[in-house]
Amino acid sequence: LAKTTQPISMDSYEGQEVNITCSHNNIATNDYITWYQQFPSQGPRFIIQGYKTKVTNEVASLFIPADRKSSTLSLPRVSLSDTAVYYCLVGVRGNYGQNFVFGPGTRLSVLP
């Protein structure tokens, strides 16, 4: 069962790029890396998923080095509305059971 470690909190200013790094030293061969965003009193919302190298979608990029023991979520030009908790998860793609564990997440605060 892969355990993840992320910073508890981060501050940024509007318009800046934010990078949140997650460590997952015991990631397994079949594991994917998934990031979720959560606002207060709402369920988590999927942001991005990747297996290796780089993945980009309309809201974020995910950088995964060759050893896959860490990954970095990159949010370009954050706005106040990006203030939320971000969770890094590691697990087999498509499975969200006991092997798909949410940690405490990273609380991102975007300041004006």
Give the footprint of another protein on this chain (CB under 8 A): 32, 34, 41-46, 49, 87, 93-94, 96-98, 100-105
Minimum distance from residue 33 beta carbon to another protein (Å): 10
Cα(97)–Cα(94) distance, integer angstroms: 9
Cα(64)–Cα(44) distance, integer angstroms: 22
Q: Which is nearer to another protein, 13 or 30 (CB)?
A: 30
* Residue 54: partners with Cβ closer than 8 Å, 6 or more residues away: 61, 62, 63, 64
Alpha carbon 32 to chain centroid distance? 12
Q: Which is nearer to another protein, 62 or 110 (CB)?
A: 62
Minimum distance from residue 9 beta carbon to another protein (Å): 11
Minimum distance from residue 100 beta carbon to another protein (Å): 7
Minimum distance from residue 63 beta carbon to another protein (Å): 17
Q: Which is nearer to another protein, 16 or 51 (CB)?
A: 51
Q: Which is nearer to another protein, 9 or 26 (CB)?
A: 9
